[in-house]
Amino acid sequence: MDITQNQPAAQPPSSPSASYVAAPGYFRRLSAFDWAFALALVAGALYAFSRFGSYMDVYEEAILLLAAPVFAVLGWHWKPVRWVMPLSFLLALGAIGLYGGDLAAAETRFWLRYMLSSQSAILWMSVFFYLSTLFYWIGLVGRSATGGAIGSRLCWGALVLGLTGMLVRWYESYLIGTDVGHIPISNLYEVFILFCLITAMFHLYYEERYATRQLGPFVLLIISAAVGFLLWYTVSRGASDIQPLVPALQSWWMKIHVPANFIGYGTFALAAMVAWAFLLKYETTRTLWIWLVGAPLAVVVIGNAGVYASGAGEGVRASMFVSSRFLVVLAVLFAATNLLRHRIADRLPAAELLEDVMYKSISAGFAFFTIATILGALWAAEAWGGYWSWDPKETWSLIVWLNYAAWLHMRLMSGLRGRVAAWWALVGLVVTTFAFLGVNMFLSGLHSYGKL
């Protein structure tokens, strides 16, 4: 009797090529909601083009029409975008409807005054970011999954409110006057909001991708620091007022150069905060106290002594005062995390995950920062007649670019890993911060419209 009788026929062994052929194509994997999201973006872009195309030049028309497929692909790749964008747009449209073409309505209508005007939405964004930071740290220190989950949801809420505030501010600028209206990325107040939103978006993306909320406490600290500067800048300088663009900024180049630049700044900052978490887990305690606590305080003492001994002007002294407060707060935060190290170090992700997030953040930031630098050179040629003038801002942008180019080169060619890579990424934040703020505070040049 044949023992193979009634046995199922042998199946051919599976192969990678067979599974590849069997897998559905990229577009076939998209759901009906994905397509509806893309169609809504295209419809919105076409409506804006038909309504406002006569006010745009050919470059602005291209930016508008390309934005729809770019954000559609982003939504397909990262699903939360499919609800964040529509919700922000709906809230902004609600605010626009409440204004009814009258800017004074922000003071008389309840929902505008306390929730949906640009200033109110941005203040709520600030509150949500601070609460998110608090709950992330409660989750990490208290070993509570609930705390981390609440922190994550609050961060999402801050992102939605911040996007809403920026969209409404854009509309408000046109209510002041058609010659005043502009995209809200033209001064320190507006770009600090942009920095917070971009950093939060990348953080939330990596949080979902790596299924960990243990990086939230560190990344939200840098966002909270930016929010703190934003609030101080608003109170002390009245920076929230919408002002007409200076002539150098009256260009479509601004619409692409500035966002690309701040994707770089945001991801570099995120990488530095991840590096901080890495060092907290793997560096010696003595080294952390010397360099993360002692070094900022030493810079405060030496810097102030040098400024006052040199007889510098009032502007430089004020800038040093602001810098000193920032460094002292930074040293206090570093000291607090050092004291909590025994409780949180074992809760932090493994070295491989931390290094991967650092690498991907710096890679993405470097790509966009490179694009921003090229765009800035083209803009400079149009505005000032030359691609490069060794202006302090340009010089320090080049230093930032070279710093991260060297980091990536050493990572790819020499296998840079571990504590050296983490320290380098953290020092990179110092270099980037000086390029972003220090140049505006202590130096002058063609970019002096961004001075404090």
Chain centre to alpha carbon of residue 390: 27
DSSP-assigned states of every residue in 12-43: PPP-HHHHHHHSPPTGGG--HHHHHHHHHHHH
DSSP 331-391: HHHHHHHHHTHHHHGGGSPPHHHHHHHHHHHHHHHHHHHHHHHHHHHHHHHHHHS-S----
Residue 340: helix, strand or coil by DSSP?
Answer: coil
Q: Rounded to 5 degrees, what angle do the CA atoms 393, 398, 404 make?
A: 130
> Residues 176-234: pLDDT tens digits?
988 888 899 988 899 999 999 999 999 999 999 999 999 999 999 999 999 998 998 88
User: DSSP letter at 385?
Assistant: S
Contact 149, 218 (CB under 8 A): no
In the prediction, which pLDDT does 23 show?
A: 61
Q: How far is CA 332 from its chain centroid?
A: 24
Contact between 91 and 116 under an 8 Å Cβ cutoff? The reply is yes
Cα diameter, the chain = 107
- Long-range contacts from 315-318, C-beta under 8 angstroms, 24+ separation: 316/442, 318/452
pTM: 0.91
d(CA 357, CA 338): 22
How many C-beta atoms surround the C-beta of residue 3 within 10 A? Answer: 6
Q: SS in 3 state form for 315-338? A: HHHHHHHHHHHHHHHHHHHHHHHH
What does the pLDDT look like over 281-321, one tens digit per residue?
A: 999 999 999 999 999 999 889 988 887 887 777 777 777 88
Judge whether 307 and 335 are in contact, CB under 8 Å.
no
Taking a C-beta distance cutoff of 8 angstroms, is the pair 449, 246 a contact? yes
Q: Is 238 within 8 Å of 364 (Cβ atoms)?
A: no
- What is the radius of gyration, based on Cα positions, of the chain? 25
Output the tens digit of pLDDT for each of the chain's 452 residues. 444 444 444 455 444 444 445 567 778 888 899 999 999 999 999 988 888 888 787 888 888 889 999 999 999 999 999 999 999 999 999 999 999 989 999 999 999 999 999 999 999 999 999 999 999 999 999 999 999 999 999 999 999 999 999 999 999 999 998 888 889 998 889 999 999 999 999 999 999 999 999 999 999 999 999 999 899 888 877 788 888 888 878 888 888 999 999 999 999 999 999 999 999 999 999 999 999 999 999 988 998 888 788 777 777 777 788 788 888 988 999 999 999 998 999 999 999 999 999 999 999 999 999 999 999 999 888 878 888 888 888 899 999 999 999 999 999 999 899 999 999 999 999 999 998 888 877 776 666 555 55
Structure tokens at 134: 């608090």
